[in-house]
Chain A
Amino acid sequence: MSFSVFRRSVLALAIGATLSTPAVAQERELLNSSYDIARELFAEINPKFEAWWAEEHGEDIEVSQSHGGSSAQARAIMQGLRADVVTFNQVTDVNVLAEAGLVDEDWQDAFDNNASPYYSTTAFLVRKDNPKAIENWDDLVNDDVDIVFPNPKTSGNGRYTYLAAWGFADDQFEGDEEQIQDFMRTFLANVRVFDTGGRGATTSFIERGIGDVLISFESEVNNIRQEYGSDDYEVIVPPTSILAEFPVAVVGENAERNGNSDLAQSYLDYLYREDTQRLLAGFNYRVHHEAVVEEFADQFPETDLLKVEDVFGSWPDAMETHFEGGGMLDQLQRR
C-alpha cells in the first residue's frame, strides 16, 4: 500500500514536471486573448501568421489562443493572465485594461479604424419563411413574438442588442424618454431565455427550438445559417442597427515582459492585410480594405449603423447609465 502510494507520487511528479516544461523551450510564443466565439477564426489566422513571420524573419514562433467571455478575459489579464495581445468584441473591456495601466491609454489610435480591424452589426435570425414577418426592431415588440438573445449583464453581444434596440427607439420616438422606455420594457418582456453567452442563446434557438427570432452579431447569424442549413432559417438585417467594433490592442506590460513587443505589433498589423481581411469577410465580418469590401459587397446589405458614441455619449456613459447595478436595464426589468 505505502509502496503504491509512493510510486503514485513519483509518477505524479514526473507528470507534473512534463506539464511545466514547454514543448520547445526556445521558441517565442505569443498569447492572444480573445472573445469566446472567435476560436475558428483565429485557428485559421494563426498558422498563416506563423508561416508569414517565419518567411519574413526566419524565426519559428507559435501563437497560442485563450478564449472566453470578453469581460472574463479582461478580468483574467488584470489578475495575471500573460496575454500579449487582446482581440475583443467590446471596447469597454479594452478600456478596463487601459485604466489598469496594462494597455496604452491611446490604444484606439495605435491602429487604423479605432483599432478595430473588422466590424459587424446586430442582426436577426428567423425561422423559415419568416412566419412572424419580422423586418425591423418594431416588429419585435408585437405580443406574439418570442425573442432569444444573451443576457446583457453577462454578454457583450447582449449589450449590443440592447443598445441597438434603444438606438432604434430613440430615433423612432425622437428622444421621448417615456416612449423609449415603454418600447424597451415590452421588448425585454418578449425575451424567452436569457442565456449567459451568445452561443448559449444559439443553442436555445436552434437545438431547443425556442423563440421566433434570435438576435446576435450579423457575422454570427450568417455563420449559424450556413452551419444549420440555409433552408431552415433566414437572416434579416434591419435597416437601422448598431456598429459593433472588434477592438484590438497590445498588452504593453505583458508583451515587454515576454519580449514579444515586435511580434505583438506585427500580429495586429497582420489583421489589416488584404488576404487576412478577405479571410475575415469569409467569416461574415465586415472589413475596411477597399478591394475586399467591393468583392464582398453583395454579402453585406447597406444599413444605417448607429455609433454608441453618437447615441449614448461614450462607452463608459452607456455602461454606467444602462448596465450597472440599479441602472436602466435593472429598472426596465424591475417589477
Chain B
Amino acid sequence: MSYFALRHSGSARVLPGFGLSMGISVLFISLVLLLPITGLFGQLAGLSLAEYWAIITEGRVVASYMVTIGAAAVAALVNAVFGLLLAWVLVRYDFTGKRLLDALMDLPFALPTAVAGITLATLYASSGWMGGWLESLGFQVAYTWVGIALAMAFTSIPFVVRTVQPVLEDMPAEVDEAAMSLGATDGVAFRRVIMPHLWPALVTGTGLAFVRSLGEFGAIIFIAGNMPYETEITALMIFVKLQEYDYAGASAIASVVLFVSLALLLAINVWQGRFIRRLHGGKG
C-alpha cells in the first residue's frame, strides 16, 4: 500500500464499464481540473509575450526562483538520505515502537500546513526549544533559507519514505544472501546489489518531494523571514502580485511554477514506465 508505487502497464480486455468510467473521469477532469485552469490562461491572454517575459524574468522574481529551487533541492537531497534510512530501518529491522515510527511517517501529510508552519517557527526561532539550542551552537535556522529548506523537508519527507518502502519490502531475501555469500562487505553489497534495485524508487520519491516543495506556501511563510533577494520564495511573489490586484502578473508567475511542476511530474511518470518495461522486459 503506497501512494506512488511503481506502476505496471495495464492490458486491454473485454471488461464492462469502459464508457461509464471514461465518462465520469473525463467529465470530472474537465470540470474540476481543466476548466479552472483556463481561467489562468484567460489572464495570460491579456499579456503580450514581451510583458509575460518581463514579469517572469524580473530580478526579484528570478531571485525567488533561485531561493525556492535551491532550498527545495537541499530539502529533497536531505530527504533522499533521511527517507532511505527510515525506509530501510522500517523494513529491515524489528524493534519496539516500530509501528509508532511507521505511523509517524504520515504526520506531515495529515498535519495542516498552516499548523506545521506556526509550529516550526515556534520551535526553531531563537526563543524556541530547538532554535535556542542551535543558536548556541552558532546556527541560525528561522528567517534564513535553512528555515525554508527545513519546512520543505518536513512537508515532503513522506514522499520518499512511502515510495522506497514497498520496493524494499518486495526485494527477495536471496538477493542479500547471494551478495553476502560472495564475501562482500555490507557497504559494498548495499551499493552494488541493493541500490540498483532501489534507485528508481528513490529518484521518483525525491522528485515528488522536490515538486511538492516548489509550491509550498503555508508551512514556509512563517519561518522564511521574507527578505527580498534572500529569503523570498516564488509562492510569496504570487501572493504579492495578488495583493497588488495584479491577476495577470500572479497568473504569469503561477504558470511558470505550473509548467515546471507538470513537466517534472510527466517526466517522472514516463521515465517510470520506461524503467519498468526495461526491468520486466515487456512483461505485464
CA distance A72 to B122 in the complex (A): 26
Interface size on A, residues (CB 8 A): 28
CA distance A9 to B58 in the complex (A): 49
Q: A193-B143, A209-B126 are in contact. Are A324 and B239 (CB under 8 A)?
A: no
- Which of B55, B122, B245 has the most A CB atoms < 10 Å from its CB? B245
> Are A208 and B225 neighbours in the complex by a CB distance under 8 Å?
no
Q: When each residue 90-121 of chain A gets 1 if its CB lies under 8 Å from chain B and 0 otherwise, what string results?
A: 00000010000000000000000000000000
> Are A194 and B227 neighbours in the complex by a CB distance under 8 Å?
yes
* CB < 8 Å neighbour of B143 from A192, A325, A335: A192
Q: A207-B127, A208-B142, A210-B143 are in contact. Are A154 and B222 (CB under 8 A)?
A: no
> Are A333 and B229 neighbours in the complex by a CB distance under 8 Å?
yes
Closest to A207 in B: B127
CA distance A151 to B142 in the complex (A): 17
Closest to A206 in B: B127
CA distance A254 to B225 in the complex (A): 38
> Are A75 and B222 neighbours in the complex by a CB distance under 8 Å?
no
Assess whether A220 is interfacial by the CB under 8 Å rule.
no
CA distance A208 to B122 in the complex (A): 8
Assess whether B59 is interfacial by the CB under 8 Å rule.
yes
B237–chain A nearest beta-carbon distance, Å? 9
Majority DSSP secondary structure for residues of A touching B: loop
A34–chain B nearest beta-carbon distance, Å? 17
Q: Chain B residues near A151 (CB, 8 Å)? A: 226, 240
B253–chain A nearest beta-carbon distance, Å? 11
Q: Chain A residues near B122 (CB, 8 Å)? A: 207
CA distance A74 to B113 in the complex (A): 26
Closest to A324 in B: B244
Docked complex: B234-264 residues within 8 A CB-CB of A: 236, 239-246, 249
CA distance A204 to B249 in the complex (A): 29
Docked complex: B158-175 residues within 8 A CB-CB of A: none
Q: Chain A residues near B71 (CB, 8 Å)? A: none
CA distance A75 to B228 in the complex (A): 24
Docked complex: A68-83 residues within 8 A CB-CB of B: 69, 71-72, 75
Q: Chain A residues near B127 (CB, 8 Å)? A: 207-209
CA distance A154 to B244 in the complex (A): 8
> Are B228 and A194 neighbours in the complex by a CB distance under 8 Å?
yes
Assess whether A212 is interfacial by the CB under 8 Å rule.
no
Q: A207-B122, A207-B125, A334-B59 are in contact. Are A72 and B225 (CB under 8 A)?
A: no
Assess whether A153 is interfacial by the CB under 8 Å rule.
yes
- Size bracket, chain B contacts: 20 to 34
Assess whether A330 is interfacial by the CB under 8 Å rule.
yes
Closest to B232 in A: A194
Assess whether A196 is interfacial by the CB under 8 Å rule.
yes
Assess whether B221 is interfacial by the CB under 8 Å rule.
yes
Q: Chain B residues near A204 (CB, 8 Å)? A: 143
Closest to A79 in B: B247
B242–chain A nearest beta-carbon distance, Å? 7
Assess whether A84 is interfacial by the CB under 8 Å rule.
no
A68–chain B nearest beta-carbon distance, Å? 11
CA distance A154 to B245 in the complex (A): 11
Q: Chain B residues near A154 (CB, 8 Å)? A: 239-240, 243
> Are A196 and B244 neighbours in the complex by a CB distance under 8 Å?
no
Q: Chain A residues near B212 (CB, 8 Å)? A: none
> Are A196 and B221 neighbours in the complex by a CB distance under 8 Å?
yes
Docked complex: A305-335 residues within 8 A CB-CB of B: 323-326, 330, 333-335
Assess whether A245 is interfacial by the CB under 8 Å rule.
no
CA distance A170 to B87 in the complex (A): 61
Q: When each residue 152-163 of chain A gets 1 if its CB lies under 8 Å from chain B and 0 otherwise, what string results?
A: 011000000000
Assess whether A218 is interfacial by the CB under 8 Å rule.
no
Q: Chain B residues near A324 (CB, 8 Å)? A: 244
Q: Chain B residues near A334 (CB, 8 Å)? A: 59-60
CA distance A200 to B222 in the complex (A): 8
> Are A193 and B244 neighbours in the complex by a CB distance under 8 Å?
no
> Are A335 and B229 neighbours in the complex by a CB distance under 8 Å?
yes
B52–chain A nearest beta-carbon distance, Å? 13
* CB < 8 Å neighbour of B225 from A75, A193, A325, A330: A193
Q: A207-B127, A210-B143 are in contact. Are A75 and B226 (CB under 8 A)?
A: no
Docked complex: B93-152 residues within 8 A CB-CB of A: 121-122, 125-127, 142-143
- Which of A151, A153, A154, A324 has the most B CB atoms < 10 Å from its CB? A153
Closest to A72 in B: B243
> Are A75 and B240 neighbours in the complex by a CB distance under 8 Å?
no
Q: When each residue 187-223 of chain A gets 1 if its CB lies under 8 Å from chain B and 0 otherwise, what string results?
A: 0000111111000100010011110000000000000
A-B contacts, 15 listed (Cβ < 8 Å): A71-B245, A96-B245, A151-B226, A153-B244, A193-B227, A195-B226, A196-B226, A196-B236, A200-B222, A204-B143, A208-B125, A325-B246, A326-B58, A334-B59, A334-B60
Residues of B within 8 A of A (CB): 55, 58-60, 121-122, 125-127, 142-143, 221-222, 225-229, 236, 239-246, 249
Q: A151-B240, A208-B121, A334-B60 are in contact. List 7 more A-B contacts (CB 8 A).
A: A71-B243, A71-B245, A193-B143, A196-B226, A208-B126, A325-B55, A325-B241
